[in-house]
Structure 1
Amino acid sequence: MKTMETMKTVKRSLTGLLGSEYTNAVAAGAALLTDLSGEEARRLAAEEVEFLPDAYRDKTDLLLEQVGKRIIPEMKASTSGAPTDAFRRASNSKASPLGGIGYLRLGEDGRLYLIGKSEHYHTPLGHNFPGYKLIDHARVLGITNATHNNTRGHATRLLERELIRTANGLAREDVDTLKGVLDSREPHVLNRVINLETGTLACEAGIKMMLARFYRLDATFPAPKYAGRTPVFFVMGDRDGGAAANYHGTSVIAQTLRNMWPDMTGKLEDAGIWKVCPVDINDYEDFKFKFERYNQSPFKVAGFLHEIIMMNYGGIKLEQHYLQQAYDLCHRNDTPIMCDEIQSCMWYPGMFLFRAYGLNPDFVVIGKGFPGGQYPASRIITTAEMDTLNQFGALVTNGQEELAALAYLITMTFAEENAAWIGAMGDYYEERLKALASCHPSIIARTEGKGHLSTLFFHEAKLAAAFAGRLGEQCIDISAQTYKANCPPAALTKPPIIATMKMLDYMIARMDEALQAIREEREADDREDTR
């Protein structure tokens, strides 16, 4: 266990991230378009920002003891907005943010909250990460955020290359190998990026590229390779044999992959338009059996879509050997694979969990973690072979935002420099959680997930709900998942990658107290029942 790793100091300027030729041009423009002089603009572009100063981390750790306490007066009057009924029922405006620092959020009720699931998985660097000050510098220099698809800015284009470099595991100085990757026409070589806004749109882009092998995007396209055959999408199934375990976005097509719109999906399948085939979790024999069934006329397996850590199904982890076997079968039979890393990207050394698994997907979907909650900005990384749609087949007008790309580059720089730290803290947290589970075997069945993305499986749904409720009373934000088809009731956690050992120990200690209280309550109920 690498608990002795230390977080590296990271300092960068806009010039250091984006290059002097670009920032010199920006500075020249700023002298004309803003109130800055050329000298002031160049100085600002060259000003280094420390991404996570010791004083910032120390202050965050000192504030830990204030979690759950009202540290400012409660905000009494606040608008209720105009939500839908579903959002109104789920709202908890007392915890809505007035501010935050690192892994802490200040709620409207004046209390301090611990973000134990990174604000639903999109703030790996927590709140008000100091490195994002470079975004403020960019705004002062007049760097515009809004561009269009045909005028993708320098930061966006630079980010595309960085995504290809890191997705292929290349060192920053390995320029020649990167060029070879970018020029490659070989299958399964990731060297294309489509910039989108949300994970849903990125996943749908991949699904559309799979569909383009069966149906023409428009009348100008030639007959597809598998025209006339019914595309069958393989997705991770739930424990009841259905498809509720997978999650690849909220578009209609993606929702049909997980048992939604069943009447419409049934008609589509009956008409031979497309079919969804759920496969059993970590069961290669089931995968192979269904593949052999549906990879022959009138069907064709159109693609295999999967997460690695299924945070929408208890945090179950797909096993490395299982995925490697499934990939080999798909690759031998011309079936593209989409690895959805929306949940897992940025929480592991190297930023991409598929690389740690030794996988070679045809599509990688990323988002949430990369822009650090600063912007909605997702990407799909794919290959020359899958680059089959025209410009309007998968784009969104404002997917090319320059400051969003800058947020990516800042996050990636910090994560790449601190890969060892991220891995060590992930290992530490996972081991502490396993030790916690072993101390409460009557309540917790087992742990799941990997590293920061770790979950607790409970013997009963009411125990998971009680656990999350008790932590919620202490302003520790985790989720209880108790409604999925035949999935063990789970408590989902995902601390930010800036989480210190002190923060993780604090979180584990509060979990232990909650579990002890639940156990004592159950024992008291048992004694009452025997009277």
Structure 2
Amino acid sequence: MKLSLVQLLGSSYMNSVIAGATSLLGLNLKEAERLAHEEVEFLPEEYVSFTNQLLTYVGKPYVSALESSLEGAPTNAFGSATNTKASPIGGLGGLRLGEDGRLYLAAKSEHYHTPLGHNFPGYRLIDNARALGITNATHNNTRGYITRFLERELVRTINGFRPEETDELDAALASQEPQMLNRVLNLETGTLACEAGIKMMLARFYRLDETFGQPKYGNLTPVFFVMADHDGGGKANYHGTTIFAQIMRDMWPGLGEKLEQAGILKVCPVRINDWEDFQTKFEQYNKPPYKAAGFLHEIILMNYGGIKLEPKYLQKVYALCHEHDTPIMCDEIQSCMWYPPMYLFREYKLNPDFVVIGKGFPGGQYPASRIITTAAMDTLNQFGALVTNGQEELAALAYLITMKFTEENGSHIRNIGQYYEDKLRDLAVRYPDFIDRTEGLGHLSTIFFREAQTVTQFTKVLNEACIDVSAQTYKASCPPAALTKPPTIATREMIDYLLYSMDETLLAIREEQRGRSDELVHPIV
């Protein structure tokens, strides 16, 4: 697909931008019009072909290594986890060029936020916008045209309207109906977006400030339901790094206990895909002195082995929550943009009160997350979730580019995701001695190993070959897992290369273990 800034943002706005570029920046009118009207090809065939050819260089020196690196000034935790050899000095598509001069395969999409890989050609529209003087920095009271246009596009796409259905979109924006997602709050990170949702739910129990009236459930203790780990604790859920979100996953246990004892709030983990457990706990805590304050969930638990929540389970939970005035926050930070409708909850036929998006939408170009909610949940004043940099115009433009490409290429994303999921399942069948099963959905797929030692060895060998796959072996009662998430622009060639490398690694591990077994049976004298 090809698009220009005029085609993406409209001629009225871009004519004003051109006027500003020629008068403020002194840009030549002909050059300004060229930048505005240049049709940028989002993913040229030669780009795809070249990245496929580069697969043969993965793990090999491609340029000279950086002669002198820096340690920076990290904290102890970050310093011990840093691998400067793999730190980027460049990249193209699903490949990263490391400081050691080697090419790396980004099989986790740089920890889940580059669905379109590195240096995606379509993002050249951002360079054109910058050259025309479109400023990135705005503030909450001066949200720019691109940001406001994006807000409409988010409401359009999240409700499933086609671009030409403008009347339907206008009606949705004006709607006061429950579960009609038509309010957008622009924030910087997924953590802040989740925090905003938690605060909106808390606003029904506590006043934000003295200008607010008495809350609807001010005399009751709010209870938040989150996904439990297999031990019944809260380690399976992940909704950011603020205090409330961390308490929900069993961090700061002393603080969480005191909040519960004081009747300030309670967190109740519910078992994965267990409807009876949810129903029982909901009935227990949806009566005085408690009130079910909200249900927070991801659909693919990428911080707990990539376990997938089942549609029928979520549909039952949603029906119960809506019946009892309990809002639901669907955290799509991990899953958004990796499935054709852009929002996985639509595939599940769900109707949440909050949807949190980020990571995939700006494609790694900017930190930019959003929470999309309903008129009923629009409960905070401007300072309740204020973020100075949340309204950045070029970040909004990155959103629009990623969204347009994904809308046009949904069938490719679906087909490659299914291909990868099926082939991973075949891999598990060939190595039942190592692999228990695969989990996840499409690109967001994981491999559950029988032994933590095996998955550690598996990922270590792949990492040494410059293939970015990570091991998750530290979660409560969760089987040791290898986490993957190829970019949505991944070709079949890239997927096949990744699968071949996994196959070769597992075969080598099997042969090594057989060799050790033979030595034990026939010891060398």
TM-score range, shorter chain: over 0.9
Q: Quote how far apart the aligned CAs of 1:527 are.
A: 2.0
The answer for the alignment partner of 1:474 in structure 2 is 465
Q: Please, which of 396, 419, 427 is the counterpart of residue 428 of structure 1?
A: 419
The answer for the alignment partner of 2:122 in structure 1 is 131
Give, in whole Å, the separation in 2 of the partners of 1:291 and 1:62: 54
Give, in whole Å, the separation in 2 of the partners of 1:530 and 1:312: 41
Q: Please, which of 200, 205, 212 is the counterpart of residue 214 of structure 1?
A: 205
User: What does the per-residue CA deviation read over 1:55-97, in whole Å, with 9 as the maximum and x for residues that have no partner?
Assistant: 0000000000000001111112111100000011000000000
The answer for the alignment partner of 2:512 in structure 1 is 521
1:406 maps onto 2:427 in alignment: no
Q: Please, which of 432, 449, 452 is the counterpart of residue 458 of structure 1?
A: 449
Q: Quote how far apart the aligned CAs of 1:525 are.
A: 1.9
User: What does the per-residue CA deviation read over 1:264-301, in whole Å, with 9 as the maximum and x for residues that have no partner?
Assistant: 11000000000000000000000000000000000001
The answer for the alignment partner of 1:301 in structure 2 is 292
Q: Quote how far apart the aligned CAs of 1:522 are.
A: 1.4
Q: Quote how far apart the aligned CAs of 1:496 are.
A: 0.1
The runs of at least 4 aligned residues of structure 1 exceeding 6 Å deviation read none
Q: Quote how far apart the aligned CAs of 1:35 are.
A: 3.1
The answer for the alignment partner of 2:434 in structure 1 is 443
Give, in whole Å, the separation in 2 of the partners of 1:87 and 1:218: 37
Give, in whole Å, the separation in 2 of the partners of 1:330 and 1:178: 27
Letter in 2 for 1:499: A
Runs (5+) with no aligned partner, structure 1? 1-9
User: What does the per-residue CA deviation read over 1:275-333, in whole Å, with 9 as the maximum and x for residues that have no partner?
Assistant: 00000000000000000000000000100000000000000000000000000000000
Q: Quote how far apart the aligned CAs of 1:216 are.
A: 0.2
Q: Please, which of 50, 53, 64 is the counterpart of residue 59 of structure 1?
A: 50
1:74 maps onto 2:79 in alignment: no
1:225 maps onto 2:216 in alignment: yes
Q: How does 1:98-497 map to 2 (within 5 A)?
A: 98-497=89-488
Give, in whole Å, the separation in 1 of the partners of 2:30 and 2:504: 57
Give, in whole Å, the separation in 2 of the partners of 1:206 and 1:525: 54
Give, in whole Å, the separation in 2 of the partners of 1:276 and 1:65: 50
1:85 maps onto 2:76 in alignment: yes
User: What does the per-residue CA deviation read over 1:232-266, in whole Å, with 9 as the maximum and x for residues that have no partner?
Assistant: 00000000010000000000111000000000110
User: What does the per-residue CA deviation read over 1:99-143, in whole Å, with 9 as the maximum and x for residues that have no partner?
Assistant: 000000000001000000000000000000000000000010000
Give, in whole Å, the separation in 2 of the partners of 1:410 and 1:244: 35
Q: Quote how far apart the aligned CAs of 1:40 are.
A: 2.1
8 A contact 1:23–1:42 mirrored in 2: no
The answer for the alignment partner of 1:5 in structure 2 is none
The answer for the alignment partner of 2:31 in structure 1 is 40
User: What does the per-residue CA deviation read over 1:437-470, in whole Å, with 9 as the maximum and x for residues that have no partner?
Assistant: 1000000000000000000000011111111001
Q: Quote how far apart the aligned CAs of 1:528 are.
A: 2.3
Q: Quote how far apart the aligned CAs of 1:398 are.
A: 0.9
8 A contact 1:343–1:368 mirrored in 2: yes
Give, in whole Å, the separation in 1 of the partners of 2:141 and 2:33: 28
Q: Quote how far apart the aligned CAs of 1:395 are.
A: 2.0
Give, in whole Å, the separation in 2 of the partners of 1:41 and 1:392: 38
Q: Quote how far apart the aligned CAs of 1:228 are.
A: 1.2
SS at match of 2:269: strand
Give, in whole Å, the separation in 1 of the partners of 2:102 and 2:499: 20
8 A contact 1:239–1:487 mirrored in 2: yes
Give, in whole Å, the separation in 1 of the partners of 2:274 and 2:510: 35
Give, in whole Å, the separation in 1 of the partners of 2:275 and 2:425: 27
SS at match of 2:217: coil
Q: Quote how far apart the aligned CAs of 1:36 are.
A: 1.1
Give, in whole Å, the separation in 2 of the partners of 1:30 and 1:88: 44
SS at match of 1:171: coil
Structure 1 stretch displaced more, 520-529 or 462-471: 520-529
User: What does the per-residue CA deviation read over 1:220-239, in whole Å, with 9 as the maximum and x for residues that have no partner?
Assistant: 10000000100000000000
- Give RMSD over aligned pairs: 0.6
1:500 maps onto 2:491 in alignment: yes
8 A contact 1:105–1:112 mirrored in 2: yes
8 A contact 1:195–1:395 mirrored in 2: no
Letter in 2 for 1:513: E
Normalized against structure 1, the TM-score is what?
A: 0.98
SS at match of 2:33: helix
Letter in 2 for 1:426: G
Give, in whole Å, the separation in 1 of the partners of 2:149 and 2:33: 20
Q: Quote how far apart the aligned CAs of 1:384 are.
A: 0.2
SS at match of 2:101: coil
Give, in whole Å, the separation in 1 of the partners of 2:272 and 2:457: 28
8 A contact 1:235–1:304 mirrored in 2: yes
User: What does the per-residue CA deviation read over 1:143-190, in whole Å, with 9 as the maximum and x for residues that have no partner?
Assistant: 000000010000000000000000001101011111111010011110
Give, in whole Å, the separation in 1 of the partners of 2:39 and 2:136: 21
State how many pairs are aligned: 522
